[in-house]
């Protein structure tokens, strides 16, 4: 990243405005401009001269922000999203696994929003180079302007080109370099030393095709990783007091009582509805029986059937009355037959819950017992505390509580650093590949192969003498 000439903010500096943990923005300090947000009104002219990291108050007194010096990590959180980006977990893992270091030369196929590009520029430094290719013309123009404004255009060389079709136009220049572009990437990788490649694939089917293409092109050590992160945030551990515990228990008891009363009322309404329906059925049956004309001697069978129907009504009513209490028994303990008085107490359906008074009494007894066992405070401290204002006592209590507060850890869910799988592979130097072929050749051709190996090793050693380390392409 480009360093500021001084330790204070000047016109033309690129700064990160930190509003909150999840709300960051990036601006260039310009004369006469200002920032309007829910935290207030902030003038660029007033920022000039303040040191980096200043807590900057708004001109209208509504709030404040922090003025931070840009880093790739802050830029990843503050950048305008034009595409899906890489975040810190993936960026750190890729940079470490590809062994990118100061002086490395890296190819980036797909500039996107420039999140990974800024991290690469800081890692390779002034002596390294990042060749970034973007096929989308609008994204290419915005990324080019951002690199120039952030003073990274001397490290990042961006080009508007489709690498799938046109390749990278580089040969034997970098050390690591995505599936259809793998053949072009191999041409761009250096052959005199070990080079590495990393491919991003959003689904496992593309991972399989990428691994197959890498194997066909002669890459080795093919591996795939998925980066998962999990946050552990500190949180205050607040132990409830006796009064708070009593209040919570009482609230639970009140909730249970309301639920029990509601169940009883619902059971009573159901019983009344069933009784009403039975009475209506009996009345309808009686009316139907009364409306039936008396049968003569010639209609003996009909009269007999009518008589049987009338005799069946009382039996049907008795059957319904006898079945009603058994259906309502689970809902309430008072579901006995109304016509038969029940002097015995109903059996409880569930163990009785402790009453609120008993819970409060037990907690009060425990408090009094612990108070009796502990030594009594001095009278002078009680007198001094009583003479102080209540607000002062409250402030001291909060300070003591904050001082003695214990912290716990709030564990968050697992999150992916990026919505893709990372596939890595290594391209061995020419000498290493020739050594592997020696085993497969015939004895008559072995001397020629060994001579070629010796020649390649000599070229490799001379290249290593010029520059140490392994360069990579992503």
pLDDT in tens, 245-293: 899 999 999 999 999 999 999 999 999 999 999 999 999 888 888 887 5
pLDDT at 52: 92
pLDDT at 185: 84
87, 418 in Cβ contact below 8 A? yes
What are the CB-based long-range contacts (under 8 Å, 24+) for 158-166?
Answer: 158/111, 158/117, 158/132, 158/133, 158/134, 159/131, 159/132, 159/133, 159/134, 160/134, 160/135, 161/133, 161/134, 161/135, 162/135, 163/109, 163/133, 163/135, 164/135
Alpha helices in 12-129 (DSSP H): 44-47, 72-78, 88-97, 115-124
Identify the band that residue 406 occupies on the pLDDT scale cut at 50, 70 and 90. Answer: confident
Alpha helices in 292-389 (DSSP H): 300-328, 356-373, 379-387
Domain CATH number, residue 28: 3.10.330.20
pLDDT at 320: 56
Same structural domain, 210 and 98: yes
Between 40 and 465, the more confident residue is 40
State which of 43, 70, 97 marks the end of a domain.
70
Q: Which residues contact 54 (CB under 8 A, 6 or more apart)?
A: 9, 66, 67
pLDDT at 405: 67
Between 381 and 148, the more confident residue is 148
Identify the band that residue 453 occupies on the pLDDT scale cut at 50, 70 and 90. Answer: very low
pLDDT at 460: 45
For 188-220, how does the pLDDT look when each residue is reduced to its tens digit (9 = 90+)? 888 888 888 988 888 888 888 889 989 998 899
Q: Answer yes or no: is pLDDT of 147 > 60.
A: yes
| 78: in domain | no
| 94: in domain | yes
pLDDT at 190: 82
What end-to-end distance do the CA atoms of the chain give, in Å?
19
Same structural domain, 225 and 139: yes
Bridge partners, residue 406, by sequence: 237
Q: Which residues contact 235 (CB under 8 A, 6 or more apart)?
A: 407, 408, 409, 410
pLDDT at 51: 93
Same structural domain, 246 and 268: yes
Domain CATH number, residue 131: 3.40.50.150
Angle between helices 242-291 and 300-328 (to 10 degrees): 180
For 51-78, how does the pLDDT look when each residue is reduced to its tens digit (9 = 90+)? 999 999 988 888 899 999 999 999 998 8
| 426: in domain | yes
> CA torsion angle for 99, 100, 106, 107 (degrees, to 10)?
60
Identify the band that residue 341 occupies on the pLDDT scale cut at 50, 70 and 90. Answer: very low
| 361: in domain | no
194, 428 in Cβ contact below 8 A? yes
DSSP 347: P
Q: Which residues of 261-278 are buried (b: 16+ CB within 10 A; e: fewer)?
A: eeeeeebeeebeeeeeee
Q: What average pLDDT does the segment 331-354 reach? A: 43
| 186: in domain | yes
Same structural domain, 223 and 243: no
Nearest to 98 by CA among 199, 229, 238: 199
pLDDT at 270: 93
Q: Answer yes or no: is pLDDT of 380 > 80.
A: no
| 395: in domain | no
Q: What pTM did the predictor assign?
A: 0.55
Identify the band that residue 6 occupies on the pLDDT scale cut at 50, 70 and 90. Answer: low
Same structural domain, 61 and 88: no
| 350: in domain | no
Same structural domain, 58 and 118: no
Helices and strands of the chain, counted as H and E runs: 15, 14
Same structural domain, 99 and 163: yes
286/314 Cα distance (integer angstroms): 11
Q: Answer yes or no: is pLDDT of 457 > 60.
A: no
pLDDT at 255: 94
Range of the domain at 93: 84-230+422-434
pLDDT at 318: 61
Count of structural domains within the chain: 3
Same structural domain, 272 and 185: no
Q: What average pLDDT does the segment 118-144 reach? A: 91
231/417 Cα distance (integer angstroms): 12
Q: Answer yes or no: is pLDDT of 156 > 90.
A: yes
Same structural domain, 125 and 222: yes
| Coil, helix or strand at residue 134 | strand
Residues shown for the chain: 474
| 371: in domain | no
pLDDT at 125: 92
Same structural domain, 193 and 102: yes
Q: Answer yes or no: is pLDDT of 443 > 80.
A: no
pLDDT at 276: 92
Same structural domain, 219 and 125: yes
8, 49 in Cβ contact below 8 A? yes
471/448 Cα distance (integer angstroms): 30
Nearest to 172 by CA among 245, 107, 254: 107
Same structural domain, 284 and 244: yes
Sign of CA dihedral 409, 411, 417, 422: positive
77/244 Cα distance (integer angstroms): 41
pLDDT at 373: 44
Least reliable range by pLDDT among 56-60, 87-91, 179-183, 307-311: 307-311
């Amino acid at each position: 990243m480009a360093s500021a000439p001084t330790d204070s903010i000047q016109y033309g500096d690129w700064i990160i405005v930190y509003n909150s943990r999840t709300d960051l923005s990036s601006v260039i300090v310009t004369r006469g401009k200002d920032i309007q947000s829910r935290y207030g009104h902030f003038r660029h002219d007033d920022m000039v001269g303040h040191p980096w990291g200043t807590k900057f108050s708004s001109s209208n007194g509504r709030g404040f922000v922090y003025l931070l010096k840009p880093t790739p990590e802050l830029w990843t959180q503050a950048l305008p999203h034009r595409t899906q980006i890489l975040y810190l977990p993936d960026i750190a893992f890729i940079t470490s696994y590809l062994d990118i270091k100061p002086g490395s030369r890296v190819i980036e196929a797909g500039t996107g929003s420039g999140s990974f590009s800024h991290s690469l520029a800081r890692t390779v430094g002034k002596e390294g180079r990042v060749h970034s290719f973007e096929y989308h013309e609008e994204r290419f123009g915005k990324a080019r302007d951002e690199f120039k404004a952030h003073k990274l255009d001397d490290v990042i060389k961006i080009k508007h080109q489709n690498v799938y079709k046109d390749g990278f136009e580089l040969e034997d220049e970098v050390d690591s370099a995505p599936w259809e572009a793998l053949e072009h990437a191999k041409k761009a990788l250096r052959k005199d030393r070990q080079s590495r490649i990393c491919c991003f694939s959003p689904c496992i089917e593309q991972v399989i095709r990428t691994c197959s293409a890498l194997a066909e092109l002669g890459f080795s050590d093919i591996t795939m990783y998925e980066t998962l992160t999990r946050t552990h945030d500190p949180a205050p551990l607040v132990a409830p007091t006796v009064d708070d515990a009593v209040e919570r228990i009482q609230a639970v008891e009140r909730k249970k009582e309301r639920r029990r009363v509601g169940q009883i009322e619902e059971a009573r309404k159901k019983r009344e509805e069933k009784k009403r329906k039975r009475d209506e059925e009996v009345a309808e049956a009686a009316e139907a029986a009364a409306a039936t004309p008396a049968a003569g001697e010639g209609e003996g069978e009909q009269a007999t059937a009518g008589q049987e129907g009338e005799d069946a009504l009382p039996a049907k009513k008795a059957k319904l009355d006898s079945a009603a209490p058994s259906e309502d028994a689970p809902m309430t303990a008072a579901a006995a037959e109304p016509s038969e008085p029940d002097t015995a107490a109903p059996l409880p359906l569930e163990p009785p819950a402790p009453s609120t008074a008993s819970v409060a009494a037990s907690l009060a007894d425990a408090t009094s017992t612990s108070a009796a066992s502990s030594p009594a405070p001095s009278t002078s401290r009680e007198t001094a505390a009583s003479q102080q204002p209540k607000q002062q006592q409250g402030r001291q209590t909060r300070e003591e509580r904050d001082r003695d507060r214990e912290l716990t850890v709030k564990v968050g869910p697992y999150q992916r650093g990026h919505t893709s799988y990372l596939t890595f592979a290594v391209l061995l130097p020419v000498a290493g590949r020739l050594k592997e072929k020696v085993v497969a050749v015939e004895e008559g051709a072995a001397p020629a192969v060994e001579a070629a190996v010796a020649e390649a090793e000599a070229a490799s050693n001379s290249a290593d003498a010029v520059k140490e380390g392994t360069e990579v392409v992503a």
